[in-house]
Structure 1
Amino acid sequence: MDDILSLGGRIAFVTGAGQGVGRQIALHLAAHDCAGVAVNDFHLDRAEEVAVEVRAAGGKAIAVQADVTDLAAVKDAVARTTRDLGPIGVLVNNAGNMGTNPSEDARKPFWETGPEAWNHAIGVNFYGVLNCVSAVIPGMIERKAPGRIITIISDAARYGDVGLEVYGGAKAGAAGFSRGVARTLGRYGITANCVAISATRTPAIEASLQDAERVKKVFEKYIIRRPGEPTDVANMVLFLASDASSWISGQTYPVNGGFTLAL
């Protein structure tokens, strides 16, 4: 039986894939007729560990270090991927946080901070997406084959969240950008979609999930009263990267346990 989630032999480039959701996305894609995965992370050692996992599972992978806020570094990483694996057919913009080394200001009310603090969140979550998309588009167009661009955003972009105003704004910007990209690139057979996630079990929140009372209180707001798992997100990304999603573009899919609802 044919694999309806086949990637059709495309090469994938996954940012922030050294742990958590990105790691699982890389493993998922590698298992479905992906000709190779470029595992990107700011920390090379983490990327290398995941690339080893992919290869141990029978896939093909390389580790590529790059700070997604640095356009020149991203272009170098894309060039290396193209040289070592082949032209990129799937880009997953997964990298996202409050900055590589967030300061204590990151959680202050945004009006008590300024551009120096804001730029950390905007850099990774918005400019990082612009950089990666701009670096892969020429190759996708030249390849003349279906391409997939998938960007992980946050429910903070759809719902709003206390203390995450700038982060949510940057993620909302990435979603708006993706819709524009979808319209622009549709003529080339390239789709662009977003996946909006909520509280998902990653190293960043693992410690907070050990507090049973806090978890119970938080997840009372969710229809499905549990944290998301990296596999929940990876399943949707795999679908959007596959041939099964060929008539879908410009959309945002919440994978959030029903924290927010979409019409």
Structure 2
Amino acid sequence: MSEQDLLDMEGQVAIVTGAGQGAGRAIARELARHNVGGVAVNDYVAERAEAVAGEIRATGVPAMAVPFDVGDIAAVRAANQAIKDTLGTPTILVNNAGNAGPVDDIGFSAMFWEEDPSAWDKYFRTNMFGVMNCCHTFIPNMVEARRGRVVAIVSDAGRVGEARLAAYATAKAGAAGFVRAIAKESGRWNITCNAISLSTLEPPMPPEQLAEYVQTERAKAYVSRYVIRRYGKPEDVAGMATFLCSKAAAWITGQTYPVNGGYSFAI
């Protein structure tokens, strides 16, 4: 990109977790448009990670698939070494992996006090400990390089609360608090750490099926809670994530930015 690109990544190598589909895929593809040195695409499904890496390579940008579960710190560390060996040292980390990780999709549960405690683990493993595992592994690269970007995708469930999603909301709130703490620890090395708080993105359906779904009374009732009357799109997330990873956000750290169509407001 030209030197006029305010979103220039200055040749840094990026890793995006949970990037085999949805918002993660959009973030990885958007970063690739702004002078990254390469993009490591993570997903716990290897085929999805490789497909997105292939899309990025087709644009002329180096990319590789790194399939692993963010809840497995040994696997995260092995991926870090593999990225170094293939693309170079990663100094941009987007912690996008979420929901319930490789176990199953997120879903509304019973009231918290009626829920079996074993149901909590899957949310904390991915949304809290997964973020911690990745930061513990990749931030030393940034300290050594004396620059870096960390972005965590959290949720309005954690920022304002959501009934029957207590464990998920708590894990996401914990991740946002963790990001603020490491922002204070790492800022002296020109490392910024921020979070993006999402509400609901459009369901992952084929275009024709999605077009039918958004016209249903159920969907209309759901999006009526949003000032902008639609579900979020992966591209809505990608724009903010790319900004926070770029040189344009060099003096922004420790913040949580709602990207939520006006579902909730923040000061």
TM-score scaled to structure 2, two decimals?
A: 0.93
TM-superposed deviation, 1:115: 2.9
1:112 aligns with 2:152: no
Q: 1:188–1:134: structure 2 CA closer, same or farther, 3 Å change rule?
A: same
Report % sequence identity: 47
| CA distance in 2: counterparts of 1:135 and 1:232, whole angstroms | 28
2:176 touches 2:256 (CA, 8 Å); kept in 1? yes
| Cα root mean square deviation, aligned | 1.9
1:213 aligns with 2:217: yes
Residues 224-239 of structure 1 correspond to what in structure 2 (within 5 A)?
224-239=228-243
| CA distance in 2: counterparts of 1:141 and 1:18, whole angstroms | 28
Counterpart residue number, 1:60: 62
| CA distance in 1: counterparts of 2:182 and 2:27, whole angstroms | 22
- Secondary structure at the aligned position of 2:160 is classed as coil
TM-superposed deviation, 1:102: 3.1
TM-superposed deviation, 1:208: 8.1
- Secondary structure at the aligned position of 1:130 is classed as helix
Q: Residue 11 of structure 1: which of 10, 13, 16 is its match?
A: 13
TM-superposed deviation, 1:90: 0.5
Counterpart residue number, 1:34: 36
Counterpart residue number, 1:247: 251
- Secondary structure at the aligned position of 1:227 is classed as coil
Counterpart residue number, 1:148: 149
Q: Residue 132 of structure 2: which of 130, 133, 140 is its match?
A: 130
TM-superposed deviation, 1:113: 2.4
Structure 2 unaligned runs (5+)? Answer: none
Alignment: residue pair count: 262
TM-score scaled to structure 1, two decimals?
A: 0.95
1:103 touches 1:117 (CA, 8 Å); kept in 2? no
2:19 touches 2:28 (CA, 8 Å); kept in 1? yes
TM-superposed deviation, 1:78: 1.0
Counterpart residue number, 1:170: 171
User: 1:207-247: CA deviations, max 9, x gaps?
Assistant: 78815211211111111001110000000000000000000
| CA distance in 2: counterparts of 1:53 and 1:161, whole angstroms | 36
User: 1:161-204: CA deviations, max 9, x gaps?
Assistant: 12111101000000000000000000011000000011112428
